[in-house]
C-alpha cells in the first residue's frame, strides 16, 4: 500500500512543484499592477502583517490587465495569428510527415532502425543552431537562392527570410519528427493481412490505403498533430529569427512585454490566456490517449 501511494504521490508532487505553483505565481502577477522604483509588481504579500495583511493583499488584486488585453487589438490579433500559423504548420507537417512515416513502416525491417535514427538525428544538434542555419539557407545570398539562380529557375533572388513563409518552413522542419514518430509507431503495428483482404474483396491499392491504412493510423495522426500544434502555438525563437517584424505571434508579444516593456502583470495575463487556450488541445489529447488505452485493453 505504501509503495503504491509513493508511486502515485511522486508525479503529483512533480506537477505541484513544476506546474501548479509556478502557474499560481503567474496568475497572482497577472492580477497585480505595475510598480515604479519598487518590485516589478504590487501588491506584495507581507505574512508578518497577519490576517489583516492577507485581506489587504487580496483586496488589491483585480482583473485590470485582462481587460487591457481586450482593449488593444495587438493581443487578440497575435492570438489569432498564432492559431492560424500553428494550424497551417500542423497541416503541412502532416502532409509531409505521413508519407515519410508510411515509407518507414513499409521498409524492410533491417532498414527501419537506420531510418529512425535519421529522423531523430537533428535532435543531436542545438535547436538554436538549426534555426540559425535556416537563416543562411533562406537569405537572399543563401544556399537556396544560389541554387535556384544556378539552375536558371529564377533570375533574381527571392525574398523568403523575414516572411511568414520562412516561419512555416522553420516550424515544419523543427517539429516534423514529432509528427513522423507517432504515425510511424501506429503504422508499424498495422496488420498487412487487412490490406490483402481489402484487395481480395475488390479494392484497389489506393482505395485500400484510404479505407484501411488511414483510419487505423488515426491515433498516430491525432497524437502527431497535437504534439506539433501545442508547441507551435507559443513558438518564439522561430518567428523572431525567421519571421522578423512582419510575423505577429503571441510568443513574441509575450517576450516583448517581459523584457522590453518590463510590464510583468500584462505579460503574465498574456501567458495565462495562452495557457488556457493550450489547455483545450491538451485535454483533447489526453482524452484521445485514454480512448486508445481503453480500446487496447
pLDDT in tens, 135-175: 989 988 888 989 989 988 888 888 888 899 999 999 999 99
Residue 125 has pLDDT above 90, yes or no: no
Residue 47 class from Cβ within 10 Å (0-12 exposed, 13-18 middle, 19+ buried)?
Answer: exposed
> Which candidate, 262, 202, 203, 267, places its Cα nearest to that of 236?
267
Over range 201-222, report the average pLDDT: 83
Over range 204-228, report the average pLDDT: 86
Domains of the chain and any CATH numbers: 18-62 (no CATH), 72-296 (1.10.3720.10)
Cα-trace Rg, the chain: 24
Instruction: Please write the tens of the pLDDT for every residue from 42-70.
Output: 887 777 777 877 788 788 888 898 999 98
- How confident is residue 212, by pLDDT bands cut at 50, 70 and 90? confident
| Cα–Cα dist 130/122, whole Å | 8
pTM of the model: 0.86
Residue 181 has pLDDT above 90, yes or no: yes
Instruction: Please write the tens of the pLDDT for every residue from 188-207.
Output: 888 777 777 877 777 777 78
**Count of other CB atoms within 10 angstroms of residue 129:** 8
The values of phi and psi at residue 87, to 5°, are -65, -50
Residue 37 has pLDDT above 60, yes or no: no
CA torsion 217-220-225-231 (nearest 10°) is -170
| Cα–Cα dist 270/257, whole Å | 9
Residues forming a β-bridge with 42: 33
Amino acid at each position: 500500500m505504501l509503495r503504491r501511494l509513493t508511486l502515485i504521490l511522486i508525479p503529483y508532487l512533480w506537477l505541484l512543484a513544476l506546474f501548479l505553483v509556478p502557474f499560481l505565481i503567474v496568475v497572482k502577477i497577472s492580477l497585480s499592477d505595475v510598480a515604479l522604483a519598487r518590485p516589478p509588481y504590487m501588491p506584495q504579500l507581507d505574512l508578518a502583517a497577519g490576517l489583516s495583511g492577507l485581506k489587504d493583499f487580496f483586496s488589491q488584486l483585480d482583473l485590470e490587465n485582462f481587460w487591457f488585453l481586450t482593449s488593444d487589438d495587438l493581443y487578440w490579433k497575435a492570438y489569432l495569428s498564432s492559431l492560424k500559423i500553428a494550424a497551417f504548420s500542423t497541416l503541412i507537417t502532416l502532409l509531409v510527415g505521413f508519407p515519410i512515416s508510411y515509407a518507414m513502416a513499409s521498409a524492410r525491417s533491417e532498414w527501419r532502425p537506420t531510418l529512425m535514427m535519421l529522423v531523430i538525428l537533428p535532435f543531436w544538434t542545438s535547436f538554436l543552431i538549426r534555426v540559425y542555419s535556416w537563416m543562411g539557407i533562406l537569405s537572399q545570398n543563401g544556399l537556396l537562392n544560389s541554387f535556384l539562380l544556378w539552375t536558371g529557375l529564377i533570375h533574381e533572388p527571392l525574398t523568403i527570410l523575414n516572411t511568414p513563409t520562412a516561419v512555416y518552413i522553420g516550424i515544419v522542419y523543427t517539429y516534423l519528427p514529432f509528427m513522423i514518430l507517432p504515425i510511424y509507431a501506429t503504422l508499424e503495428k498495422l496488420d498487412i493481412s487487412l490490406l490483402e483482404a481489402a484487395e481480395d474483396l475488390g479494392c484497389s491499392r489506393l482505395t485500400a490505403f484510404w479505407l484501411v491504412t488511414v483510419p487505423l493510423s488515426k491515433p498516430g495522426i491525432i497524437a502527431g498533430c497535437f504534439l506539433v500544434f501545442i508547441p507551435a502555438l507559443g513558438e518564439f525563437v522561430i518567428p523572431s529569427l525567421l519571421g522578423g517584424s512582419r510575423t505577429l505571434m503571441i510568443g513574441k508579444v509575450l517576450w516583448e512585454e517581459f523584457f522590453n516593456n518590463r510590464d510583468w502583470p500584462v505579460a503574465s495575463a498574456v501567458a495565462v490566456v495562452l495557457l488556457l487556450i493550450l489547455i483545450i488541445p491538451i485535454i483533447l489529447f489526453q482524452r484521445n490517449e485514454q480512448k486508445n488505452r481503453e480500446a487496447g485493453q
